[in-house]
Amino acid sequence: MTHPRYTRLIDALPSTVPFVGPEAQERAAGRPFTARLGANENGFGPSPRAIAAMAAAAGDVWKYGDSTSFELRAALAAHHDVNVPNVLVGEGIDGLLGYLCRLLIEPGDAVVTSDGAYPTFNYHVAGFGGVLHKVPYSDDHEDLDALIAKAIETGAKLIYLANPDNPMGTWHGREAIEAMIKKVPDGTLLLLDEAYVEFAPEDTAARIAADDPRVIRMRTFSKAHGMAGARVGYAIAAPELIAAFDKIRNHFGMCRISQAGALAALQDTTWQAYMRLLVAGARQRIADIAAQNGLSTLPSATNFVAIDCGGDGDFARAVLTALGDAGVFVRMPFVAPENRCIRVSVGPEPELDRFAEALPHALEAARTSRMK
């Protein structure tokens, strides 16, 4: 029988995806979720100015988007006080991760990350044949010294670090990150994922020269700007590295509607300030709900909160399953001991009310199942 002749690498990979999306879970369950609090989306939504800009751009959607995203790149360069050649725009951080792995990773190349950190990065590394070397978290934080030590030990081409972290929501201050950068070994690139940094304390974002060849920073419009569905991410790095992406990126991958929305969102500083207040309030509400059920939460500098369910991964998974059965979508970390937690994204009051209603029943169901 005729069939495609896949590469040996693709034939060897498991049939898997980093996450099963909420829509797929809803189809499997035959009903919608009543509270969508699991994908780290920003349920408060985008700036009204961004919505208006996207609506205005819809009439021109017959045109391809600007292949260089020049206006958005220029605005981002001005926002970060860097030059336009330091900035790359792409299809969300996930898309940029794939491009970066394609640029750097060949079969057998060593890559360092934390055990339990963002699975989509691991997915891209595996897709290009890289070998992942993982270090454990330390006190629910990514261990900066261990990441550097493992990179030195393995001769890694790439280190992945999210600050603030997903899935735990913890963070390191800028001085710790800056000290880490000084230790990055020759020939290694530090990928600093700052998807959540707009929600973090002001002393979180590291002061990094845009031309520093040791680091590439990535940010997104999915979180603070509430535009996850528009798929807009960007990178800041040395011009030589940014220019290298032109060799392999999808030059017309950015929709002109998304470009227009992101540009308007970046310019709406009032909405950004309002959003930080909304997210901070929702984080506190989630912490209060947890406390009312005798649970503790981890400090968070993101748009989600990790709730310690007080048991092991099996217990947390039982809580998550019971919440899902009640129509409340949340997620949890994959690796012990962080998998003792569930991870709850911020959202509007009605969705948090639904979570508050469902959580005590989910905990009771999980405790009952454990006694059987």
Hey, what domains does the chain have and what are their CATH numbers?
8-45+270-371 (3.90.1150.10), 50-268 (3.40.640.10)
C-alpha angle 209-175-162 in degrees, rounded to nearest 5: 75
Q: According to the model, what pLDDT value does residue 365 have?
A: 96
Q: Which amino acid is at 281?
A: G
Is the pLDDT reported for residue 370 higher than 80? no
Q: Higher model confidence: residue 134 or residue 372? A: 134
Rounded Cα distance between 336 and 181, Å, is: 28
For 233-279, write each residue's pLDDT tens digit. 999 999 999 999 999 999 999 999 999 999 999 999 999 999 999 99
Contact 112, 147 (CB under 8 A): yes
For 202-214, write each residue's pLDDT tens digit. 999 999 999 999 9
Contact 289, 97 (CB under 8 A): no
- Of the pLDDT bands very low, low, confident and very high (cuts 50, 70, 90), residue 372 is low
Q: Which structure tokens are listed for 355?
A: 């979570």
pTM recorded for the entire structure:
0.95
Q: According to the model, what pLDDT value does residue 369 have?
A: 80
Contact 319, 342 (CB under 8 A): yes
Which of 190, 183, 116, 134 is closest to 158 using CA atoms?
190
Contact 286, 297 (CB under 8 A): yes
Q: According to the model, what pLDDT value does residue 2 have?
A: 80
> What's the start-to-end Cα distance of the chain, in Å?
50
Element containing residue 18 per DSSP (H, E): none
Give the 3-state secondary structure of residue 210.
Answer: coil
Is the pLDDT reported for residue 355 higher than 70? yes
Which whole-number Å values give the CA distances from 341 to 152, 201, 208, 300, 312, in the listed order? 31, 23, 33, 13, 8
Element containing residue 245 per DSSP (H, E): none
For 13-52, write each residue's pLDDT tens digit. 888 788 889 999 999 999 999 999 999 999 999 999 999 9
Q: According to the model, what pLDDT value does residue 1 have?
A: 63
Q: Give Cβ neighbours of residue 60 (< 8 Å, ≥ 6 apart).
A: 256
For 145-199, write each residue's pLDDT tens digit. 999 999 999 999 999 999 999 999 999 999 999 999 999 999 999 999 999 999 9
Q: What is the mean pLDDT of residues 299-315?
A: 97
* H helix intervals, the chain: 8-12, 22-29, 48-58, 70-80, 92-104, 119-127, 144-154, 174-182, 239-244, 256-267, 269-292, 313-325, 349-371
For 310-339, write each residue's pLDDT tens digit. 999 999 999 999 999 999 999 999 999 999
**What number of residues does the chain have?**
372
Q: Which structure tokens are listed for 150?
A: 């493992």
DSSP secondary structure letter of residue 185: P
Rounded Cα distance between 287 and 279, Å, is: 12
Backbone angles phi, psi at 219, to 5 degrees: -135, 175
Number of helices and strands (H, E) in the chain?
13, 12
